[in-house]
Structure 1
Amino acid sequence: NHPAAWFYTSDALRTLCDIWDKHGSGLTNMHGSTGDIIFLGCKTEELEPTFSDLEGDLGGSGSDMRTPSCCVGPAREWACYDTLNACYDITQSFQDELHRPMFPYKYKFFGCPNDCAIARDM
């Protein structure tokens, strides 16, 4: 997922691309308005080393709570509430449930009527 409601620094992009050159195809693209970086072409045996170099977790999947991310929220005057603060609070409160399913449902909510969150965000 993209960094919640923020931006990628050129240093972060260089690091990601260097890791992807090492473990993957070196090809990436950005997914629409979500800002997700998609890393194209990786062999299965390179997945764990890639996440290790990223200092990340492979996580889990399914109908459960995912790693939260949020929209730009309070950076726009039409936001209904502080999405960045809500995302932080949810992450801290449910840290242990993020990757080992405890919730039977996905959650999706937005900071304004633009409805730009994607279903897998939460």
Structure 2
Amino acid sequence: MSKKTLVIGASMNRSRYSNIAINRLTSHKVPTVAIGLRTGEVAGVKIETEKLPFEDIDTVTLYLGPPRQPEYYDYIISLNPDRVIFNPGTENPEFFRLLREKNIEVEVACTLILLSTGQY
């Protein structure tokens, strides 16, 4: 797979789904970058704390609740990903609309399930 993925809401806490997702993405050989509240490293992926201008992002997978998403709207749209995955608990109709207006696919799904079923 070459669907370079940005994980937003990345955590060093091994029990967090974002952490598990980074591990699964890397084990599936998906190029992965991450942004979180604190710097760190998960499965060889450095967690950044700034909105860096990552290039060639195919997928953004969100682990950030709707109240915290507005500060990322313009940033995510500027990356021009093919799709944004809204994991359980991150669903946000306002952001869905903004993304669709920019022809960015909205997928309400679980990254872990997509990976485990070969649908990623």
TM-score of the superposed pair, with normalisation by structure 2: 0.25
Question: Which of 1 and 2 has greater Rg?
Answer: 1
Q: Structure 1 or 2: larger helix share? A: 1
Relative to its length, the structure with more strand (as a share) is: 2
